[in-house]
Structure 1
Amino acid sequence: MRAAWQSKKVSEIAECSLGKMLDKAKNKGEPRPYLRNLNVRWFDFDLSNLLEMRFLPEEAAKYRVAKGDLVICEGGYPGRAAIWDRDEPIYFQKALHRVRFHQPENAKWCLYYLHAQNLDGTLKSHFNGAGIQHFTGEALSRFQIPIPPLPEQQRIVDILDKAFDGIAIVKINVEKNLQNARALFESHLQTVFTQRSEDWVEKRLEQIGTTQTGSTPKTAVRTNYGTFIPFVKPADFNKDGSLVYENAGLSEKGLEGARKVTAGSVLMVCIGATIGKCGYCDRDITTNQQINALTPSEGISHKFVYYQMLSGNFQQRVLGKSGQATLPIINKSKWSALTVVLPPNVEEQTRIVGQLDALVGEIQRLESSYQQRLVALDTLKKSLLHQAFSGQL
């Protein structure tokens, strides 16, 4: 911070207030759209899921967010903030702070400072609560901001605006390239299994191997658990289909009350939010009851079946058989009756698997490169913000 700059509490340069509390007993007046912390993103608002709440005329005046107001999350995502830049007013609830600056130009400067503090991890020191954290009104009022003279402040904000706009464009392009790479793989996968030769045959899973559902030995019996054999759960599936084997395991005694899945089997999560997630094992394992497994018969490539289970067509059939309940589930009998298509010999399966493995490897290389670029962009943002608030810009 330069010598000409002053350190000011937010309460010295702005008026802060929390929004209206949700209270059915006080739910009177005209319905109006209001902001929740879910609607607030850094530098922007997501208005796709706005809710309405009733406001009496005096409440509407009190809880109105006007153009130029800074909105900061009190809870949920404490500290996350954006400036309301629309002409039409909106309203806000108690999980948000409205900060109205005496000099409106300070809003953008404060927003950048909050973001800088968030990126370097120092903002959370102003939150309270061991579990669910809050950026209380008292803490916000005490929050210190370095304030340069207004012309210098505007000059630095202009530099940051241009730099952040450029970073945002590059980031959008990188993320679009990531999406395109994944879409290319999914398209190729779909083509392989739909535009097939006439000599391919359709078989139910239960016709090409042994299917089974996992089980969980009694957790109260601690001797059931150990390191004799991996115990796999849905969270242990990697994006590339490989598995994490080190997170949990069973003892020899625990294996007696479980079901062993032999190396070279294909697995699928068959219940819950991640239904359809696929993987394969390169060693003997056990799984919990959320996972179904297929151990293919001789002459069937497990990787060929795995890739087919990843295809959009197979995934749609899994969802179609899972019912419309809040908790989707496909039982073992329905899952075992799902069909896959197979070339007449394992050599053709292996050839196709080799092509798909090569494509996956290329996509992983691209994803790694793109992720490195995204990390570099975030590092650049941190560097720019550090320079801005240390007086180096």
Structure 2
Amino acid sequence: MLGGGVEYKSLREVCKTLPKGTLKKDEVNQTSQYPVINGGCELYGFYDKYNNEANAFTFSARGSAGFVSYFNTRFWAGGLCYPYTSKNENILITKFIYYYLKSQEQNIMDTLVARGSIPALNKSDIDNLKIPIPPLPIQEEIVKILDTFTELEGELEAELKLRQKQYKYYLNKLLSFENDGGGGLVQWLEMQEVFDIRNGYTPSKAKAEYWEGGNIPWFRMEDIRTNGRMLSDSIQHITKQAVKGKLFPANSIIVATTATIGEHALITVDCLANQQFTFLTKKQTVGNKLNMKFFYYYMFIVDEWCKEHVNSSSFASVDMAAFRKLKIPIPPLEEQERIVGILDKFDELVSDISLGIPAEIQMRKKQYEYYRDKLLRFEE
């Protein structure tokens, strides 16, 4: 902890609000120059114009509400985020503010985000956040230290991306069934023929009895980011009183169909998830024809389909009518098991957080969060 007596001011006092503008999905692409941030944790795409200069941070206002991003290049701020920069870099460094807010991100999500059908964050609540103002040399040193951690993690992630690219090549090759040799061994069925498809939901945060002492897993995007795509428990839990009807059964797939679209996980316990996710639960009539671990891998292809079939509106969501009719392959069970065996080995190398590069990245993240929180803890 650094010395006490640090002055705090509200965000509105030390930061200026930057311009933003709504873009339709068909206006962005992956080849233009300027990144576009909107309501998710990831970029919305790229655009050939920008509405903000470099050295700014944004809050996601919808969907992944409360997520904080920093931009060191010119960028386009969409309508579903709140962009800011420091009013005076000689008093308060924008990147220092970003690092401080990142340390408070989970608390912001837990306390300020309204959990309706779509999680939302009000700008007035953000403007009232208190920001510490230590001496400028201390800010500069903190930014330098945390930048170093970020760069080291970035190098590891770049190497991991190369391995993931190789993994994706083999995954697509193994899961391409468009031509099965004419033997008709692969059956193609619509999603709605194979799965019960239902939305997750968020129990009322106003009712303490829904949350206090709960032991039922309730999954959010944070669970995937923290613990990967094979999940047996969640970060947050709910009580039986919070459940409407029945829990979603174990061995269901959750897929994000709003906000951060195209992320999925295989859940191995009875559970609930928030409304960002759609549950895919295998119908009883399908029985042993489908190995859910095989479908978990095929979902990487479905993820890409989801990203390309989004309703054009101010809030991105998958075209669910088309999703229900999307045809998926069901090869013979022996072939499913053969593919699972191969992809499990690749998956260990690029996804298992207890092994190799993923394990080192996790260690770096924990170190970074430890020092970030220690460096950014001040007394008024």
Shorter-chain-normalised TM-score: which range? Answer: 0.5 to 0.7
Does residue 366 of structure 1 match 2:350?
no
Q: Relative to structure 1, is the Cα distance of residues 169 and 217 closer, same or farther in structure 2, using a 3 angstrom cutoff? A: closer
The alpha carbon displacement at 1:332 in A equals: 4.6
Tell me the residue number matched to 2:189. Answer: 203
Matched, 1:352 2:339: yes
- Secondary structure in 2 matching 1:358: helix
**2:163 alignment counterpart:** 181
In 2, Cα distance between the equivalents of 1:306 and 1:324?
A: 27
Deviation at 1:302, TM superposition (A): 1.2
Q: Residue 77 in 1 paired to residue 75 in 2?
A: no
Letter in 2 for 1:188: Y
| 1:1-393 mapped onto 2 (5 Å cutoff) | 37-38=55-56, 46-49=72-75, 74-78=92-96, 131-133=129-131, 135=133, 139-140=135-136, 174-194=156-176, 197-198=180-181, 199-225=185-211, 226-238=213-225, 240-243=228-231, 245-255=233-243, 257-272=244-259, 274-296=260-282, 297-299=286-288, 300-311=290-301, 314-330=302-318, 332-343=320-331, 345-363=332-350, 364=352, 365-368=355-358, 371=361
Q: Distance in 2 between matches of 1:168 and 1:235?
A: 20
Give CA-to-partner distance per residue, 1:295-323, whole Å, 9 cap, x none: 12312111111111113xx2232123322
Q: Distance in 1 between matches of 2:201 and 2:315?
A: 19
Tell me if structure 2 keeps the 8 A contact 1:75–1:134: no
Q: Per-residue displacement from partner, 1:309-346 (whole Å, max 9, x unpaired)?
A: 113xx223212332232321126544322222121x22
Q: How far off is 1:236 after superposition?
A: 2.0
1:72 offset after TM fit, Å? 6.4
- Residue 311 of structure 2: SS of its match in structure 1? coil
- Aligned residue type for 2:339: I
Contiguous gaps of at least 5 residues in structure 2: 1-15, 20-50, 58-70, 78-88, 99-126, 142-146, 369-380
| SS of the residue 1:279 aligns to | strand
2:65 aligns with: none
Q: Deviations over 1:167-191 (max 9, x none)?
A: 9999876544222111111111111
| CA gap 1:245/1:23 in 2 versus in 1, 3 angstroms | closer
Identity %: 17
Could you tell me which amino acid in structure 2 is paired with residue 307 of structure 1?
Answer: Y
* Distance change >3 Å, CA 187–CA 142, structure 1 → 2: closer
Q: Which runs of 5+ in 1 are unaligned?
A: 1-20, 25-32, 40-44, 52-70, 81-128, 146-163, 379-393
Equivalent pair of 1:258/1:286 in contact (CA under 8 Å): no
The Cα RMSD (Å) is: 4.7
Report the TM-score, using the length of structure 1 for normalisation.
0.53
| Aligned equivalents of 1:144, 1:336: Cα separation in 2 | 52
* Greater length-normalized contact order (CA 8 Å, ≥ 6 residues apart): 2
Which amino acid in structure 2 is aligned with residue 275 of structure 1? I
Q: What is the CA-CA distance between 1:244 and the residue it aligns to?
A: 6.3
Contact 1:269 1:290 in 2 (8 A): yes
Q: Return the alpha-carbon distance in structure 1 between the equivalents of residues 193 and 325 of structure 2.
A: 9
Q: Do 1:231 and 1:287's aligned partners in 2 also have CA atoms closer than 8 Å? A: yes
1:241–1:278 contact (8 Å) kept in structure 2: yes
Q: CA deviation at 1:141?
A: 8.4
Is the Cα contact below 8 Å between 2:156 and 2:357 reproduced in 1?
no
**Distance of 2:151 and 2:18 partners within structure 1:** 42
TM-score (norm 2): 0.54
Q: Is the 8 A contact 2:96 2:139 kept in 1?
A: no
Cα distance in 1, alignment partners of residues 18 and 203 from structure 2: 46
Aligned to 2:375: none
Larger Rg: 1
One-letter code aligned to 1:302: M
In the alignment, the residues of structure 2 paired with residue 131 and residue 185 of structure 1 have an alpha-carbon distance, to the nearest angstrom, of 43
String of CA shifts for 1:22-44, please: whole Å, max 9, x gaps: 999xxxxxxxx9965339xxxxx
